[in-house]
Amino acid sequence: MMMPRVVRRAKKRLLAVFSACTVIMLVAACTAGTAGGGSPAGNSGGTDAVQGHSSKFLTFFPCCSWNTTWSYNPYNVNQLGIQNDFVTMRLAIAKSPSLTEFIPQLADKWTVENGKLNVHLRDDAKWQDDTPVTSKDLHDTAILNGLRGDGFWNDITGLDIVDDKTVAFTLKEGQPESLAKLDILNSIRPYPSSVYGQLVTDELKQDVTKYFRMLQENPEQATKMAEFKRMGNAFKKLAALKVDKLIGNGPFRLENITTKEAKLVKWDGFWDADKIKFAGIRYLNGSTQTVYPQLFSGNVHLSNVYMPPPILNRWKTTPESNTALPLGFGFAIIFNSNQKPLDSKAVRQALAYVIPRQQISEAAYGTDDAAGGTWKEVNTGISPSLEEIYLKPDQIEQLNKYPVDEAKATELLEGEGFTKKGDQWMKPDGKPFTMTFTANAETTDIVTSFNSAAKALTAFGIKSEVNATSGAQQDADQHNGDFQAGMAFVGGSNPLGMYNFLLGPGYNFTRQGNYAGKRGIGFGPKMNVPGLGEVDVASTIDWQVRTVEPGDEMNEQVWNWAQLINEEVPYIWYATKVYQFPFSTKEFTNWPPMGEDNTSELWDIISADMAGGLSLAIQQGYITPKP
């Protein structure tokens, strides 16, 4: 499960990054066919592109998708699409953690004039059938993306083709330019109109445009429109479209794919093909049990597999080993605020005083600087790196650090009518106060942290246990509101987006999608937010993430939500993921450079946007085979 983009906005799916899995792995083999048990690749299409290195190839392991049925159709909701930044490129990639700076990809320039964002495509961009990438491809993709509710449609009122290479997106009145750019440039991945454009008609464009204009004005009325129903029918046809061949526009092309692996090879028609110094990429599925042996045998040359302390110590003594350490995302304990007694702020605060955040983090990651996670002292709801940008030190000092304090926890519980009989806390109704932590069994580091938290609560008198279940069941239980304490990942470069992920309508009183009408974490729905007053939490933060751009207002709103999270404790950010990118110079050299803190701008992009960042590094000529 990947987090392929830097930012997720309204109506975008955030794919959790499971640190216990191998999310992205690049593997180089000295001889063909030795990595991952794959078939020989020395004579596969494109592998002779690098003189003297036809046996060198890279292998990419996507996490947690074993035996998945893949689809060439990215709109197929029942299968997993293969499109990514190696094969089919986005318009641009956002720098991390910036919300306003972009690195051109398929688009080479863009301007805002007269309320329109004009996006110009590269003149030398081609599809892998040797036809040019045109404005019609971008235009038709944008219309079809509207059928699945992509977030950039909240920023615009329409779009039009200007010329063969330019599309103009008409911004809705008052829409911040920076946020529109973020949604459009960093999110849209054009697909060939020759494949999908058959479904784009003038009538469909009118339906999509009219529906989203109404959605911006009256969401309830929008779902009652005839246009909305016709869009639903059109999407069914789009999702069912049989696509026999994947036609990309990126540096690699798909040669073969099965339920276990997909082979990509270098495409010489890519505009910067000369900078790419190896022949191909082979996708494989694997687990930590598969990766670790290859890591130490020298077959694996780049990974972000989680390395617990024993594995990390062994890696440090492995010849030619290196580790980049960019910060990633947050691990949070989320509470079901809709379930008694967790509907009480005092109870959630008491739990915060008992759960030893440093201890449970170090139980999983140890204390090494290169460990997989570092504990977070102040619960602001956002990452330490974003705190440095959006919060002032004196503001953070005003917040409660919730040190381990059983006396304070006792005072809070007794104030809510709890009593202690022997070693067990009893709820006001006379029943024992017990807790269950829900976790994906595959996220072994989170299970370890939760077991440590449960042990501390049990010792305090709240008998607790961990329910380590399947990822699908854990996700369903938490979205449905059938849990007490659960797990969540919080990431991205937009601090309001971090709040929106858990407090917004995607996870809190869900309004759309498979879990529409479900409680999720059940926080609110109305709360007194500092600086805002009594508001509907989910709709307010969802609106803000689409309308508040970087600057003084964003800083103010971040401070408002940080105070709410700190006081109300709907969730506890207990650890910040430190991405471990072990890489070897045994067979490959010219890796992206690192600074004193073992990261850099490019590594930061890779950590926030792995497929995009690695593709960008390859395009810039990094990761080259040794002679």
pLDDT, tens digit (0-9, with 9 covering 90-100), for 104-113 = 999 999 999 9
Separation between Cα atoms, residue 520 and residue 46, nearest integer Å = 48
Regarding whether 619 and 503 lie in a shared domain, the answer is no
Q: What tens digit of pLDDT does each residue of 352-366 get? A: 999 999 999 999 988
pLDDT at 254 > cutoff 70: yes
Regarding whether 346 and 389 lie in a shared domain, the answer is yes
Q: What tens digit of pLDDT does each residue of 211-247 get? A: 999 988 888 898 899 999 999 999 999 999 999 999 9
Closest among 197, 60, 68, 188 to 611, alpha carbons compared: 60
Q: Which SS3 state, helix, strand or coil, does residue 582 take?
A: strand
pLDDT, position 301: 85
Regarding whether 479 and 418 lie in a shared domain, the answer is yes
Regarding whether 541 and 602 lie in a shared domain, the answer is no
Separation between Cα atoms, residue 588 and residue 327, nearest integer Å = 24
Regarding whether 510 and 388 lie in a shared domain, the answer is yes
289 pLDDT tier (thresholds 50, 70, 90): confident
pLDDT, position 29: 31
CATH code: domain of residue 597: 3.40.190.10
| Out of 36-40, 313-317, 521-525, 542-546, least confident range | 36-40
pLDDT at 546 > cutoff 70: yes
pLDDT at 471 > cutoff 90: no
Separation between Cα atoms, residue 487 and residue 515, nearest integer Å = 18
* DSSP 8-state class, residue 127: -
Position 273 in a domain: yes
pLDDT, position 258: 73
- The mean per-residue pLDDT over the stretch 12-21 comes to 31
Regarding whether 285 and 192 lie in a shared domain, the answer is no
CATH code: domain of residue 179: 3.90.76.10
Number of domains forming the structure of the chain: 3
pLDDT, position 498: 94
pLDDT at 14 > cutoff 80: no
Regarding whether 453 and 383 lie in a shared domain, the answer is yes
Q: Which SS3 state, helix, strand or coil, does residue 253 take?
A: strand
What are residue 463's DSSP bridge partners? 434
Beta strands (DSSP E) in 336-474 are 373-375, 419-421, 424-426, 434-440, 463-469
Choose the final residue of a domain: 216, 240, 264: 240
Residue pointed to by tokens 């054009």 = 190
| Region of 114 on the Ramachandran plot (φ > 0 left; ψ -120 to 50 alpha; else beta) | left
Position 155 in a domain: yes
| Out of 77-81, 366-370, 390-394, least confident range | 77-81
Q: How many Cα atoms within 13 Å fall on the side-chain side of residue 342?
A: 27
Separation between Cα atoms, residue 259 and residue 8, nearest integer Å = 28
pLDDT at 45 > cutoff 70: no
Regarding whether 464 and 358 lie in a shared domain, the answer is yes
The CA-based angle 256-258-260, given to 5 degrees, is 125
Q: What tens digit of pLDDT does each residue of 400-456 get? A: 999 999 999 999 999 999 999 999 999 999 999 999 999 999 888 899 999 999 999
Q: Would you say 549 and 559 are in contact if contact means Cβ atoms under 8 Å apart? A: no
pLDDT, position 36: 25
Separation between Cα atoms, residue 133 and residue 138, nearest integer Å = 8
Separation between Cα atoms, residue 503 and residue 480, nearest integer Å = 14
Position 56 in a domain: no
Q: Kindly list the distances between the CA atom of residue 150 and the CA atoms of 65, 142, 335, in Å, as whole numbers in the listed order.
A: 23, 9, 29
Closest among 143, 132, 350 to 249, alpha carbons compared: 132
What are residue 374's DSSP bridge partners? 576
Separation between Cα atoms, residue 564 and residue 555, nearest integer Å = 15
pLDDT, position 134: 98
Position 42 in a domain: no
Q: How far does CA 305 lie from the centroid of its chain?
A: 16
Position 390 in a domain: yes
Q: Would you say 65 and 80 are in contact if contact means Cβ atoms under 8 Å apart? A: yes
Show the DSSP H helices in 115-265 as ranges: 135-147, 177-185, 193-196, 202-217, 219-222, 226-239
Position 317 in a domain: yes
Q: What tens digit of pLDDT does each residue of 294-335 get? A: 888 887 888 878 888 888 899 999 999 999 998 778 999 999
- The mean per-residue pLDDT over the stretch 158-166 comes to 98
Give the structural domain span for 293.
Answer: 252-327+582-625
Give the chain's radius of gyration (CA, Å): 25
Helix (H), strand (E) at residue 2: none
Show the DSSP H helices in 526-609 as ranges: 537-547, 552-568, 601-608
Regarding whether 538 and 429 lie in a shared domain, the answer is yes
Separation between Cα atoms, residue 264 and residue 257, nearest integer Å = 9
Mean of the per-residue pLDDT values of the chain: 86
pLDDT at 50 > cutoff 80: no
pLDDT at 464 > cutoff 80: yes
| pTM attached to this predicted model | 0.76
Show the DSSP H helices in 302-369 as ranges: 309-316, 345-354, 357-365
Q: Would you say 297 and 278 are in contact if contact means Cβ atoms under 8 Å apart? A: no
| Out of 51-60, 98-107, 185-194, least confident range | 51-60
pLDDT at 4 > cutoff 90: no
Closest among 507, 402, 485 to 439, alpha carbons compared: 485
Q: Which SS3 state, helix, strand or coil, does residue 255 take?
A: strand
Residue pointed to by tokens 């005083």 = 353
pLDDT at 262 > cutoff 70: yes
Task: Say which residues have a Cβ less than 8 Å from residue 388's Cβ, sequence separation at least 6.
Answer: none
pLDDT, position 52: 33
Position 75 in a domain: no
- The mean per-residue pLDDT over the stretch 469-475 comes to 89
Regarding whether 573 and 588 lie in a shared domain, the answer is no
pLDDT at 3 > cutoff 60: no
Q: Would you say 5 and 84 are in contact if contact means Cβ atoms under 8 Å apart? A: no
pLDDT at 51 > cutoff 50: no
Position 72 in a domain: no
Regarding whether 279 and 168 lie in a shared domain, the answer is no
385 pLDDT tier (thresholds 50, 70, 90): confident
Locate 321 and state its tokens.
Answer: 């080993």
Q: Which SS3 state, helix, strand or coil, does residue 327 take?
A: strand
Q: Would you say 441 and 469 are in contact if contact means Cβ atoms under 8 Å apart? A: yes
- The mean per-residue pLDDT over the stretch 345-357 comes to 98
pLDDT, position 135: 98
CATH code: domain of residue 411: 3.10.105.10
Separation between Cα atoms, residue 200 and residue 186, nearest integer Å = 23
Regarding whether 301 and 395 lie in a shared domain, the answer is no
Separation between Cα atoms, residue 624 and residue 278, nearest integer Å = 6
pLDDT, position 611: 84
Q: Would you say 124 and 165 are in contact if contact means Cβ atoms under 8 Å apart? A: no
Closest among 458, 464, 449, 460 to 410, alpha carbons compared: 460
